[in-house]
Amino acid sequence: MTMANNQIFKLWSSFMPRRKEITNAISSDLFAMQDYDSSVAYENIQAQTLFTAWAAVEVSDLEVIPDGMEDIILEPSTYVVFLLKGQQKELQHLMQHIYTEWLPNSKYQADTRVMFQVMGPKYKNNDLSSEEEVWVPVKLK
């Protein structure tokens, strides 16, 4: 998908009614995962930049995968974790801060691995008191 043709709502609308079919989930945490083309730096992402998105849960094994679902295995990587408080619309502001202020002033640079958000027990969709973790892949400069 692209930001201009954002299908996130459709993705989650199709995943949520079926998540109970995943019998080996290890928690109730939800994972929103995005994989951008590794040749595109964050500051160069445009409305038409392609990316792949997943709605996911963490499982204990890959023995049983419901029909129509796929597995994804994250490669080992170093991540920085930021806490996003508030509504989902604040994510864009946080990402801009991470890539234009935090990373340039840190000992890290962005890595080309999957980034994701963990929506745990304090996550409340579009609620001002909502909390979620934003995991950004990094590597040493």
3-state class (DSSP) for residue 138: strand
Q: 46: number of CA atoms within 13 Å, CB side?
A: 2
The reported pTM is: 0.90
Q: Are 65 and 15 in contact, with CB atoms under 8 Å apart?
A: no
Domain residue ranges in the chain:
8-140
16 DSSP assignment: G
Angle at 12 between CA 42 and CA 122, to 5 degrees: 80
Q: What class has domain 8-140?
A: alpha beta
10-residue mean pLDDT profile of the chain (141 residues): values are 88 96 96 82 75 95 94 93 92 90 94 92 94 95 94
Q: H-helix or E-strand containing 85?
A: strand 78-85
